[in-house]
C-alpha cells in the first residue's frame, strides 16, 4: 500500500510513502503519519491512497500512524490543493498555515511544559511519564532530546498523547505576542448544581451571615449576568476577599483563573433581543432570496445601517437548521466590541479563533468545530482553515479589506476568494458585507455572478454625515511646513467638545514626523537596509524604518554637509496628538496606532475607554477605521487626504474612497447628524466628490472606466513575480531570464522587470514582473506553469541560487 503525504514544508510536490502491512488498517486520508525525510522526522497528513507503486523510485516506509481518525475532512485537503494551485505554492505551505502548531510535529519542534495546570501523573503510561518528568524539570525539550529518552520508534505517538493530555504544547513563534487577559471567575461548586443540595445548604445556614450574603449576591449575579468575576462579586456584595476565601474553603464557591476571551462557560442558547427595522428585514429577505439563486451575495449597506444585526439574524437562521457559520473579519477589526455583541446573542455556541491564541486553545477550538459542537466561529483569515463539520454560511465582513490577502509567507491567499471556493465544496453560502465594496465584488454583481442587496439607510434613520472639504492651500501656514490643523477644523473640534461629543482625527501616518530634512543641503536620513526615509518618533526620541523596523538614534549632524539644521517635514499621528493637546489643553486625548497599542489588549482597552466617553479626542491611523461603533462621535477630521489620494497603485481611487467613507462612517452613528472635515490641497479630486455625496455607484463607474482603459482587474487577472537578492544586478538578471522565458507565449501581457517604488527592503533589492492576463482559465494556468518552469530553470543556475522568487497571484 502506498500513500501521498503532505508535509509542512516547501516541496515541489508531495512525496509517496509505503505503508507496512501492520499499519494498513489504520491509514486513511486525513490522518497523520510519521515519516522521515533526509534525517528529519515529520508528522505529515495522508492526502490520498495510491493504487500502485511509483515507477521511478522505491518509496520508504512510514514509521507510525498517529491518529485513529482523520484530523481534517476531505474538504480541507481539497481546499489546500486549490490554494496551492491557485496561489502557486506547495500544499505543505498551506498545511503549515492551516494547522495549529500542536497538530504539526517535526524534528524541529520544541515542546513546552504547560504551566497552566498541575498534574497527577497517574494517567500516564511509563514512556509518557519519562517525558513528562523531564519536561516538568526542564520546562522545554527538543524533539531529539525526547528521542534520547525513548525508544526511537515510539517518539511521535508518545508526544501526541502528551499534547492531548495537556501536559505540553508545541512552541510556535508568534508574530506578535498575545497574552489573553485572565480574570478570576467565581463558580458554584459542582455539588450544588443540584437544586435540592443548594436549598439544603441555604436553609441550614447557621454561622457567618456575611458569607451567606456573599453567596446570595453570587446567585443573583449569575442569574442576571451569566458569569461572575471575583472583583465584580466583591464590589457588588461589599464583601472582603477573606470572606470569599472562607466560602471557597468550605467548598461552596470555586475560584478559577480563566482567559476572558474563552467562553466555555456561557450557556448554549440563542438570545436575540432586537427586531430588525423594516429596511433591515427587507435586506434579510433579499439575502435569503439571493441565496436561493446564487451561492454568493453581496450586502452593500451604508455605515451604521446595522449590517451586524442582519448577519446575526442570518446566523440564527443557519444554526437553527443545525448548520455551522463562519464569520470572518479582518484581523484588526476583530475587537472585543464585536466579540461582545455576538457573544450576547450566541453565548456558548460561538468560538473566537485567533492566530495569537496559545496552541492548546487553538486545538481545542479546532476539535469543537470538527465535532460540530461549536456552531459559530468568529475569526480572522486563518479561521477559514478550521475543519467545519457542516458548514452552512460564511460571512466575510468588510470584504473590501486588503488584509484578507496574506502577504508573507506563502500561501499568499485571499481569504475572501478562498472562502468562496471552500463554501462551494460544502454547498454553503457566502455573504460578503461592506459599506464600500471592492470593485471586483461589485463588478461580479453587475455580471450576475453574485446577488446584490442594498441597505441604504442608517439604523434609526440617522442621516449620513455631512462632508466638507477644506482647501489646505488657502490656509496661511505659520511655519514653513504644511498646516496640520486648519482653523476651521479647530473650530469644529471646539464646538463638538462644548456639546460633550467626541472627535476622531484620522492621519494615515504614524510617528511624529515622516522625515527629517537637512535645511542646508536637503539630505534626508534613510534606512541602512531599505530604500526608505526614516520617520522621527518624538516620544522614543528615535528614527524608525517602518519597513524593517530598525530604529536609529536621532541625527543631529547632516551626513552630507555637516550642518545641524534639520527641519521636520510633514506630520504623523504623534505630532497631531501633540498639536491637538496644545490647542485643547483641557481635552482628554489619546492616540491609536501601532506604536501606542502594542498588544491586542491595549487596542481593546482604548476602544473601551473611548466607548465610555473617557476620551474626548482620538487620534489614529487605519486602526480607528475598522468597523467600530461609537455612539457619541459627531466629528471626524481627515487630516491629510493628499497622502491618501496620491498613492501610486492602480487601486488608489478605490482605496481612498473606502478609507474616507469608512472613517466618515464613524461619525453621527446614533443620534444626530455627524460632520466630516477633510483637509486636502486638491479639493476638486473626483474621488472627493464621490465621498462628499456618499456615492459608491459613481465611484464604481468612474473606476471601472479607468480599469477598462488600462487593462486592470476586474477585466484582467494579475500575477506579480518578485525577485529579491542582495545584489541589485543579480536580481535583475534573474528577472530578465524569466521575462525571456515568458515572452514566447505572454509577450504582450508581461510588464517589466521594474523596480518598485521602494526598491530595497532589509538589504534585499527588489525587481518585479507584472503579468496582466485575460480572464481565461486555460491561459492563466498555462502562464502559472510557465512561471513555475522558469523558476526551476533560474534556480538550477548556481549564480541565481540565492535569488528569492515569489509569485503573487491577485496581488493587492
Beta-carbon count within 10 A of 306 CB: 22
x/- mask, Zn ion, residues 534-553, rule CB under 5 A, reads -----------x-xx-x---
* Interface with Zn ion (CB under 5 A), residue from 202, 265, 491, 521: 521
Beta strands at 296-301 and 429-434: parallel, antiparallel or unpaired: parallel
Q: Is 308 in the site for ligand ADP (CB under 6 A)?
A: yes
Residue whose grid cell is 459599506: 435
- Provide CB contacts within 8 A for 781, sequence distance 6+: none
Report which of 66, 62, 34, 38 is spatially closest to residue 50, judged by C-alpha positions: 62
Task: Name residues contacting ligand ADP, limited to 219-278 (CB under 6 A).
Answer: 274, 276-277
Of 141-149, 305-313, 463-471, 795-803, the segment contacting ligand ADP by CB under 6 A is: 305-313
580 binds, among ligand ADP, Zn ion, none (CB under 5 to 8 A by kind): none
Q: Which is nearer to Zn ion, 6 or 530 (CB)?
A: 530
Contact 185, 265 (CB under 8 A): yes
User: How near is the Cβ of 606 to ligand ADP at its closest, in Å?
Assistant: 18
Residue 520 binds which one of ligand ADP, Zn ion, none, with CB within 5 to 8 A depending on kind? Zn ion
Question: Going by DSSP bridges, is the β-strand pair 182-188/253-259 parallel, antiparallel, or unpaired?
Answer: antiparallel
Restricting to residues 651-680, name those near ligand ADP by CB under 6 A.
Answer: 669
By the rule CB under 5 A, 2 interacts with Zn ion: no
User: Strand 2-6 to strand 15-18: parallel, antiparallel, or no bridges (unpaired)?
Assistant: antiparallel
Give the Cα separation of 188 and 215 in Å (integer): 9
Considering the complex, what minimum distance in angstroms separates the CB of residue 306 from ligand ADP? 3
Query: What is d(CA 718, CA 538) in angstroms, rounded to the nearest whole number?
Result: 40
Query: Taking a C-beta distance cutoff of 8 angstroms, is the pair 795, 801 a contact?
Result: yes
Cross-strand partners of 518: 566
Does residue number 757 form part of the binding site for Zn ion (CB under 5 A)? no
Using CB under 5 A, which residues numbered 411 to 470 contact Zn ion? none
> Closer CB to Zn ion, residue 480 or residue 744?
480
The size of the interface with Zn ion (CB under 5 A), counted in residues, is 15
Question: Which one of 209-217, 347-355, 512-520, 730-738 is the stretch in contact with Zn ion (CB under 5 A)?
Answer: 512-520
Beta partners for residue 188, in sequence order? 253
Return the beta strands (E) in 545-605 as ranges.
551-553, 566-569, 589-592
Strands 675-680 and 466-471: parallel
Stretch near ligand ADP under the rule CB under 6 A, chosen from 306-314, 357-365, 644-652, 730-738: 306-314
- 274: partner contacted, choices Zn ion, ligand ADP, none (Cβ within 5-8 A by kind): ligand ADP
Least distance to ligand ADP, CB of residue 424, Å: 26
Per CB under 6 A, does 546 bind ligand ADP?
no
Taking every pair of C-alpha atoms in the chain, what is the biggest distance, in angstroms?
93
Contacting residue, 529, 588, 651, 670, with Zn ion by CB under 5 A:
529
> Strand pairing of 451-455 and 296-301?
parallel
CA angle 730, 736, 741 (to 5 degrees): 130
Interface residue with ligand ADP among 306, 379, 411, 525 (CB under 6 A) is 306
Q: How far apart are CA 782 and CA 780, in angstroms?
A: 5
Report DSSP state, residue 621. Answer: S
In sequence order, what DSSP letters do the residues of 120-187 get, joined into one string?
A: -GGG--HHHHHHHHHHHHHSEEEHHHHHHHS-GGGHHHHHHHHHHTTSEEE----SS-----EEEEEE
Cis peptide before 753 (omega within 30 of 0): yes
Q: Which three cell numbers stand for residue 373?
A: 459542537
Supply 51's cell numbers. 493504487
Site string for ligand ADP, 587-626 (x = CB under 6 A): ----------------------------------------
Cβ neighbours for 493, distance < 8 A, ≥ 6 positions apart: 503, 580, 583, 584, 617, 635, 637
The distance of closest approach from Cβ of residue 411 to ligand ADP in the complex, given in angstroms and rounded to an integer, is 29
Region of 193-201, 307-315, 717-725, 759-767 interacting with ligand ADP (CB under 6 A): 307-315
The span of 81-89, 190-198, 557-565, 735-743 binding Zn ion (CB under 5 A) equals 557-565
Binding pattern to ligand ADP, positions 423-462, x when CB under 6 A? ------------------------------------x---
Cβ 232 vs Cβ 273: under 8 Å: no
Query: Per rule CB under 6 A, is residue 305 in the interface with ligand ADP?
Result: yes
Binding residues for ligand ADP restricted to 273-302, rule: CB under 6 A: 274, 276-277, 280, 301
Residue 208, all three cell numbers = 457567618
Cell numbers at 627, concatenated = 468597523
Residue 527 contacts which entry, ligand ADP, Zn ion, none (Cβ below 5-8 A, type-dependent): Zn ion
Q: Which span (95-103, 159-167, 232-240, 303-311) binds ligand ADP, by CB under 6 A?
A: 303-311
Q: Check binding of 42 to ligand ADP (CB under 6 A).
A: no
- What residues are paired with 182 via a beta bridge? 259
Question: Which residue of this chain has its Cβ atom nearest to ligand ADP in the complex?
Answer: 306
Q: Which of 146, 298, 304, 545 binds ligand ADP (CB under 6 A)?
A: 304
- Cell 543556475, residue located: 797
Residue 547 interacting entry, from Zn ion, ligand ADP, none, C-beta within 5 to 8 Å by type:
Zn ion
CB 9 within 8 A of CB 41: no
Among 128, 577, 578, 629, contact with ligand ADP (rule: CB under 6 A): 629
Q: How far is the CB of 335 from ligand ADP (least distance, A)?
A: 12
Total binding residues toward ligand ADP, as defined by CB under 6 A: 15
Grid cell digits, residue 632:
457619541
Pattern 457-486, ligand ADP, x by CB under 6 A: --x---------------------------
217 binds ligand ADP (CB under 6 A): no
- What residue ranges bind ligand ADP (CB under 6 A)? 274, 276-277, 280, 301, 303-309, 459, 629, 669
Amino acid at each position: 500500500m502506498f500513500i501521498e503525504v503532505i508535509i509542512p514544508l516547501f516541496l515541489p510536490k508531495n512525496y509517496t510513502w509505503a505503508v507496512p502491512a501492520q499499519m494498513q488498517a489504520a491509514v486513511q486520508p486525513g490522518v497523520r503519519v510519521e515519516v522521515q525525510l533526509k534525517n528529519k522526522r515529520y508528522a505529515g497528513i495522508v492526502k490520498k491512497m495510491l493504487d500502485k507503486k511509483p515507477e521511478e523510485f522505491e518509496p520508504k516506509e512510514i514509521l507510525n500512524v498517529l491518529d485513529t481518525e482523520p484530523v481534517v475532512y476531505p474538504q480541507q485537503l481539497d481546499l489546500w490543493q486549490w490554494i496551492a494551485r491557485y496561489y502557486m505554492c506547495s500544499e505543505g505551505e498551506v498545511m503549515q498555515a492551516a494547522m495549529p502548531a500542536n497538530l504539526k510535529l517535526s524534528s524541529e519542534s520544541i515542546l513546552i511544559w504547560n504551566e497552566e495546570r498541575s498534574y497527577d501523573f497517574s494517567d500516564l503510561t511509563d514512556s509518557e511519564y519519562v517525558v513528562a518528568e523531564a519536561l516538568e524539570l526542564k520546562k522545554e525539550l527538543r524533539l531529539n532530546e525526547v528521542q534520547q529518552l525513548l525508544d526511537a520508534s515510539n517518539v511521535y505517538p508518545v508526544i501526541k498523547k502528551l499534547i492531548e493530555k495537556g501536559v505540553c504544547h508545541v512552541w510556535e513563534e508568534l508574530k506578535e505576542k498575545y497574552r489573553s487577559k485572565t480574570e478570576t471567575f467565581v463558580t458554584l461548586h459542582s455539588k450544588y448544581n443540584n437544586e435540592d443540595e443548594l436549598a439544603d445548604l441555604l436553609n441550614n445556614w447557621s454561622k457567618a451571615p456575611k458569607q451567606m450574603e456573599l453567596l446570595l449576591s453570587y446567585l443573583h449575579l449569575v442569574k442576571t449576568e451569566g458569569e461572575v468575576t471575583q472583583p465584580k462579586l466583591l464590589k457588588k456584595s461589599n464583601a472582603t476577599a477573606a470572606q470569599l476565601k472562607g466560602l471557597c474553603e468550605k467548598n461552596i464557591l470555586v475560584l478559577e483563573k480563566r482567559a476572558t476571551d474563552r467562553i466555555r462557560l456561557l450557556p448554549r442558547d440563542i438570545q436575540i433581543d432586537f427586531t430588525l427595522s423594516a429596511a433591515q428585514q427587507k435586506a434579510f429577505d433579499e439575502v435569503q432570496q439571493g441565496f436561493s439563486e446564487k451561492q454568493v451575495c453581496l450586502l452593500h449597506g451604508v455605515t451604521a445601517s446595522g449590517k451586524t444585526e442582519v448577519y446575526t439574524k442570518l446566523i440564527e437562521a443557519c444554526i437553527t437548521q443545525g448548520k455551522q457559520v463562519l464569520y470572518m473579519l479582518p484581523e484588526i477589526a476583530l475587537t472585543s466590541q464585536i466579540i461582545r455583541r455576538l457573544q450576547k446573542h450566541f453565548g456558548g455556541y460561538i468560538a473566537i479563533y485567533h492566530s495569537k491564541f496559545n496552541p492548546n486553545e487553538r486545538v481545542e477550538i479546532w476539535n469543537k468545530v470538527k465535532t460540530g459542537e461549536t456552531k459559530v466561529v468568529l475569526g480572522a483569515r486563518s479561521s477559514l482553515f478550521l475543519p467545519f463539520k457542516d458548514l452552512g454560511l460564511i460571512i466575510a465582513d468588510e470584504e473590501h479589506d486588503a488584509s484578507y490577502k496574506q502577504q508573507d509567507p506563502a500561501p499568499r491567499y485571499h481569504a475572501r476568494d478562498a472562502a468562496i471556493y471552500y463554501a462551494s465544496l460544502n454547498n454553503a453560502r457566502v455573504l460578503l458585507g461592506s459599506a464600500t465594496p471592492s470593485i471586483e465584488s461589485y463588478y461580479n454583481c453587475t455580471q450576475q455572478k453574485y446577488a446584490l442587496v442594498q441597505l441604504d439607510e442608517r439604523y434609526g434613520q440617522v442621516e449620513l454625515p455631512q462632508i466638507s472639504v477644506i482647501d489646505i492651500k488657502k490656509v496661511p501656514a505659520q511655519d514653513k511646513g504644511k498646516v496640520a490643523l486648519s482653523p476651521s477644523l479647530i473650530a469644529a473640534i471646539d464646538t463638538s467638545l462644548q456639546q460633550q461629543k467626541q472627535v476622531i482625527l484620522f492621519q494615515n501616518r504614524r510617528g511624529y514626523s515622516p522625515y527629517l530634512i537637512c535645511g542646508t543641503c536637503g539630505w534626508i536620513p534613510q534606512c541602512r537596509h531599505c530604500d526608505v526615509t526614516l520617520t522621527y518618533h518624538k516620544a522614543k526620541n528615535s528614527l524608525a524604518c517602518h519597513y524593517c523596523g530598525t530604529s536609529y538614534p536621532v541625527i543631529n549632524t547632516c551626513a552630507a554637509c555637516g550642518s545641524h539644521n534639520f527641519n521636520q517635514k510633514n506630520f504623523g499621528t504623534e505630532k497631531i496628538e501633540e498639536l491637538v493637546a496644545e490647542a485643547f489643553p483641557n481635552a482628554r486625548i489619546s492616540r491609536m496606532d501601532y506604536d501606542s497599542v502594542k498588544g491586542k489588549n491595549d487596542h481593546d482597552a482604548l476602544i473601551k475607554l473611548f466607548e465610555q466617553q473617557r476620551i474626548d479626542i482620538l487620534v489614529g491611523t487605519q486602526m480607528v477605521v475598522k468597523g467600530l461603533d461609537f455612539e457619541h462621535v459627531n466629528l471626524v477630521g481627515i487630516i491629510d487626504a493628499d497622502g491618501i489620494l496620491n498613492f501610486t497603485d492602480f487601486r488608489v481611487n478605490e482605496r481612498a474612497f473606502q478609507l474616507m467613507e469608512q472613517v466618515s462612517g464613524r461619525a453621527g452613528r446614533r443620534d444626530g447628524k455627524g460632520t466630516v472635515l477633510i483637509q486636502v490641497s486638491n479639493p476638486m479630486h473626483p474621488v472627493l466628490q464621490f465621498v462628499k455625496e456618499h456615492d459608491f455607484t459613481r465611484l464604481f463607474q468612474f473606476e471601472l472606466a479607468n480599469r477598462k482603459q488600462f487593462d486592470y482587474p476586474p477585466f484582467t487577472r494579475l500575477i506579480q513575480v518578485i525577485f529579491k537578492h542582495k545584489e541589485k544586478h543579480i536580481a535583475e538578471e534573474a528577472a530578465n531570464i524569466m521575462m525571456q522565458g515568458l515572452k514566447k507565449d505572454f509577450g504582450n501581457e508581461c510588464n517589466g522587470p521594474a523596480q518598485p517604488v521602494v526598491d530595497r527592503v532589509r538589504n534585499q533589492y527588489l525587481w518585479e514582473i507584472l503579468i496582466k492576463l485575460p480572464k481565461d482559465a486555460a491561459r492563466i494556468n498555462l502562464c502559472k506553469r510557465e512561471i513555475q518552469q522558469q523558476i526551476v530553470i533560474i534556480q538550477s543556475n548556481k549564480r541565481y541560487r540565492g535569488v528569492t522568487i515569489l509569485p503573487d497571484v491577485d496581488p493587492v
